[in-house]
Amino acid sequence: MTINSHISLKPYNTFGIESIAKHFTTVDSIEHIKELLQHPIYHNHEHLILGGGSNMLLTKNIDALVIKNNLKGIEIINDSTDNVFVKCAAGEIWHEFVMWCIDKNYGGLENLSLIPGCTGASPMQNIGAYGVEIKDTFYELEAIHTLTGEVKTFSKSDCAFGYRESVFKHQFKNQFIITSVTFKLSKNPTFNIEYGAIKQELDAMNINELNIKAISQAVINIRSSKLPNPKEIGNAGSFFKNPEVYATTYENLKTSFHNLVAYPLENGHYKLAAGWLIEQSGLKGYRIGDAGVHKLQALVLVNYGGATGADIYNLSSHVVNTVKEKFGIALEREVNII
């Protein structure tokens, strides 16, 4: 096993932020992880697990052992008339896995096309887009306990999935290395095209017969038109969550702001569009040095090149304070601040 020292994490995070890891290693099997757990460097340091680095902001050098998850493999573990259970190793690139499923006409993940990162991180915040979250097709995951080395299986209810939430962000934070995720996919998919601009995009594509490949392509087209490509401009997607508020808060706001963008939830609360709140606070395209609020999607903070993690974090605090002052709403950061 190779553990390197003093490694730049700039190529390993989509913000393109410079940060030096004290130690860095790559794991590509469960045996490898178990071996690592016995290593003196592991015992003497805290650790940070890294997938694609597309949902983290590195605000300092990492005085820890960074463990890059590189476990590979996609396996069908059960196949019935209607469903197929596919186990995907944590280091597989999420979008490539989605494309693999679409190629085989296994439905359920098509609305989640083009989300950056690795499969192992997908349960961390129950990734979601265009009306679908992974909890909708999640079956189980396997993870290794970082102290005992025990392999544990988590069912859907064990994970306590919520909007951008799971037990792995709270109760079990840093306690497990997720090694694989199994999804229950459909051979006769039902199509989710109600959300956002999917229908219009499908019309524009002249799709006569609906299929998961066309939905995936529609999602890819919409995402590419508004979200900045991290290869061109550093970012981690939505920096904040869309806040959930009580109906009374929504109604009060609506009285003052007639064009407020909000969505009713099943529990009677409302979800506000944080991008709208930020834009209406006058911050769309706002920039402090190389840290900016994206010009097309105000929910995304970007690194124009030379921003530090602290620069982006300070900008995010300015956004939080400005939105709070104008609307009385406290935005919560969605990105993992390290």
Q: Rule CB under 6 A: choose which of 3, 101, 177, 283 binds ligand FAD.
A: 177
3-class state of residue 162 by DSSP: strand
Q: Is 155 a catalytic residue?
A: no
117 binds ligand FAD (CB under 6 A): yes
Nearest in space to 13 (alpha carbons), one of 64, 88, 92, 68:
68
298 binds ligand EPU (CB under 6 A): yes
Q: Rule CB under 6 A: choose which of 17, 124, 218, 277 binds ligand FAD.
A: 124
Please answer whether residues 212 and 107 qualify as being in contact, where contact means their C-beta atoms are separated by less than 8 angstroms: yes
Compute the residue count for the chain. 338
Extract the tokens encoding 38: 């016995």
Q: Rule CB under 6 A: choose which of 21, 36, 198, 299 binds ligand EPU.
A: 299
123 binds ligand FAD (CB under 6 A): no
CB of 273 to ligand EPU, least distance (A): 3
CB of 157 to ligand EPU, least distance (A): 23
Distance CA 323, CA 25 (A): 40
Distance CA 302, CA 199 (A): 29
Q: Rule CB under 6 A: choose which of 178, 198, 262, 323 binds ligand FAD.
A: 178
CB of 331 to ligand FAD, least distance (A): 16
235 binds ligand FAD (CB under 6 A): yes
Place of tokens 């530090």: 308
Amino acid (one-letter) located at 212 = I
Stretch that binds ligand EPU, among 36-44, 64-72, 234-242, 308-316 (CB under 6 A): 234-242
Please answer whether residues 88 and 119 qualify as being in contact, where contact means their C-beta atoms are separated by less than 8 angstroms: yes
Stretch that binds ligand EPU, among 36-44, 56-64, 237-245, 250-258 (CB under 6 A): 237-245
116 binds ligand FAD (CB under 6 A): yes
115 binds ligand FAD (CB under 6 A): yes
Distance CA 269, CA 245 (A): 6
Extract the tokens encoding 315: 């900008």
Q: How does DSSP classify residue 228? A: P
Q: Is 317 a catalytic residue?
A: no
Residues 74 to 133 in contact with ligand EPU, rule: CB under 6 A: 129-130
Extract the tokens encoding 98: 């989605």
Q: Would you say 88 or 129 has its CB closer to ligand FAD?
A: 129
β-partners of residue 196 are none
216 binds ligand FAD (CB under 6 A): no
Q: Rule CB under 6 A: choose which of 17, 23, 51, 331 binds ligand FAD.
A: 51
Q: How does DSSP classify residue 51? A: S
Please answer whether residues 53 and 96 qualify as being in contact, where contact means their C-beta atoms are separated by less than 8 angstroms: no
CB of 230 to ligand EPU, least distance (A): 11
Q: Rule CB under 6 A: choose which of 25, 111, 122, 303 binds ligand FAD.
A: 122
Place of tokens 């189980």: 140
- Exactly one of 19, 180, 216, 238 is catalytic; which is it? 238
Q: In the β-sheet with 62-69, what is the strand arrangement from edge to edge?
A: 4-8, 20-27, 62-69, 47-50
Strands 62-69 and 20-27: what pairing?
Answer: parallel
Q: Rule CB under 6 A: choose which of 3, 25, 42, 55 binds ligand FAD.
A: 55
Residues at the contact surface with ligand EPU, assessed by CB under 6 A = 129-130, 196, 226, 237-238, 241-242, 261, 273, 275-276, 279, 284, 297-299, 334
Residues involved in catalysis: 164, 238, 334
